[in-house]
Amino acid sequence: MKKMKAEELAGILNAKLDGDGDIWIAGIAAPEEAREEDLIYVEAPKHKERAEASRARCAIVAEGMRLRNKTTIAVKQPKLAFVKAAEHLLEEETIARGIHATALIDASAKLGTGVAVGPYAVIEANAVVGVKTQIGAFCFIGRNAQIGDSCRIFPRVTLYADAKLGDRVRVHSGAVIGCDGFGYVYDEGRYRKFPQAGNLEIEDDVEIGSNATIARGSLGRTRIGRGVKLDNMVHVAHNVSIGEHTVIAAQTGISGSCEIGDHVVIGGQVGVADHCRIESGSIVGAQAGIPTGKKIRAGQTVWGTPARPLERFKRQYAFFERLPELAERLKRLEERVK
């Protein structure tokens, strides 16, 4: 945890300070848990009382908001400013320091300067690890895998052979990257495994949640675009392409050969069948199911299984809720007509 004066922080955020700029800030917290030196933030007027009751002496607030007995830093987007403040105040946790004596690194692997590798990690032949990347305990980095600069690979992550990660990629514990896709061909009463011989490219600034699984291409490649964020236990199958800055919430599964655009938002537990196309800027509600080969047009919001435009779903669903009443009215009408 770094320490700075409120005044200095206001300067960094290019924001107006109101109150005592000379107080120290040495952490961040929610209003209820904050100590005096923690920074808090208030986005909506309804949280004003929570903030005023906090022990914190300094708060980031929306422009125009005043807090009793607090130093305030007023900005247009308090939550965003809080995130930026945190980037200055918090130090990233250390995943590994130096190369641990028990790390097994093949002589042919190439490690950049400042790379840290935790205890009992294994790095196989011809792997490449970029400068300042940290690799946690029990990580397995397969043959020819490439990891960019300043990546953070938490303990207990597997990279299968040939997986390729860009810079500043974070991979959380238990994730499996570049595993076999699920492909078989039926042959006289049994399944033969389709070759899983393709590759996987994960671009810069991607974050991958705990216990997520990402398959490499069977032939061709799987691609996770720059800035993509995948939550815990997300499954991405072989030959999927996910565009830039797309976010996918927990336990969602993307089947083989799907194409997902840029800036797509996909809720939790969504199932996307194979060969779907989800265009840029679209939104898929939680637990939706998108059938094989379906196209979601750019900017559309869909929900339900099978997924359809949200407004349409809501309308249909409202009548579903009224089905007992509609059936009753139909019955009465039949009797009357008789």
Q: Which of 53, 297, 311, 320 binds a second copy (CB under 8 A)?
A: 320
Interaction between residue 334 and a second copy (CB under 8 A): yes
Q: Which is nearer to a second copy, 20 or 86 (CB)?
A: 86
Interaction between residue 301 and a second copy (CB under 8 A): no
Q: Which of 249, 278, 296, 302 binds a second copy (CB under 8 A)?
A: 249
Instruction: In whole angstroms, give the CA distance from residue 174 to residue 88.
Output: 29
Q: Which of 49, 50, 53, 86 binds a second copy (CB under 8 A)?
A: 86
Q: Which is nearer to a second copy, 22 or 338 (CB)?
A: 338
Instruction: In whole angstroms, give the CA distance from residue 4 to residue 13.
Output: 13
- Closest distance of CB 58 from a second copy, Å: 15
Interaction between residue 107 and a second copy (CB under 8 A): no
Phi/psi of residue 303, each to 5°?
A: -150, 165
CA atoms within 13 A on the CB side of 171: 37
Q: Which of 3, 49, 50, 104 binds a second copy (CB under 8 A)?
A: 104
Instruction: Pick out residues in 24-53 that bind a second copy (CB under 8 A).
Output: 28-30, 32-33
Judge whether 245 counts as a catalytic residue: no
Interaction between residue 76 and a second copy (CB under 8 A): no
- Burial level of 43, CB count in 10 A (0-12/13-18/19+)? middle
Phi/psi of residue 8, each to 5°?
A: -65, -45
Active-site residue among 47, 238, 263, 275? 238
Q: Which of 126, 280, 287, 301 binds a second copy (CB under 8 A)?
A: 287
Q: Which is nearer to a second copy, 2 or 20 (CB)?
A: 2
Q: Which of 68, 93, 107, 113 binds a second copy (CB under 8 A)?
A: 93
- Closest distance of CB 19 from a second copy, Å: 22
Q: Which is nearer to a second copy, 64 or 324 (CB)?
A: 324
Q: Which stretch binds a second copy (CB under 8 A): 7-15, 49-57, 67-75, 261-269?
A: 261-269
Q: Which of 53, 98, 102, 108 binds a second copy (CB under 8 A)?
A: 102
Q: Could you tell me which of 71, 138, 69, 126 has the C-alpha nearest to residue 102?
A: 138
DSSP per position, 27-78: EE--TTT--TTEEEEE-SGGGHHHHHTSS-SEEEEETT---TT-EEEEES-H
Interaction between residue 140 and a second copy (CB under 8 A): yes
- Closest distance of CB 161 from a second copy, Å: 6
Instruction: Pick out residues in 188-227 that bind a second copy (CB under 8 A).
Output: 189-195, 197-198, 205, 207, 209-211, 213, 215, 219-221, 227
Indicate the pairing of strand 184-187 with strand 164-165.
Answer: unpaired
B/e letters for 238-249, b = 16+ CB within 10 Å, e = fewer, are bbbbbbbbbbbb
Interaction between residue 324 and a second copy (CB under 8 A): yes
Instruction: Pick out residues in 158-177 that bind a second copy (CB under 8 A).
Output: 158, 160-161, 172-174, 176
| Cis preceding linkage at 78, omega within 30 | no
Q: How many residues bind a second copy (CB under 8 A)?
A: 104
Phi/psi of residue 254, each to 5°?
A: -115, 115
Which tokens is 106 given?
């093949």
Q: Is 209 helix (H, G, I), strand (E, B) or coil?
A: coil
CA atoms within 13 A on the CB side of 173: 6
Interaction between residue 229 and a second copy (CB under 8 A): yes
CA angle at residue 214 from 160 to 211, to 5 degrees?
Answer: 95
Please list the active-site residues. Answer: 238
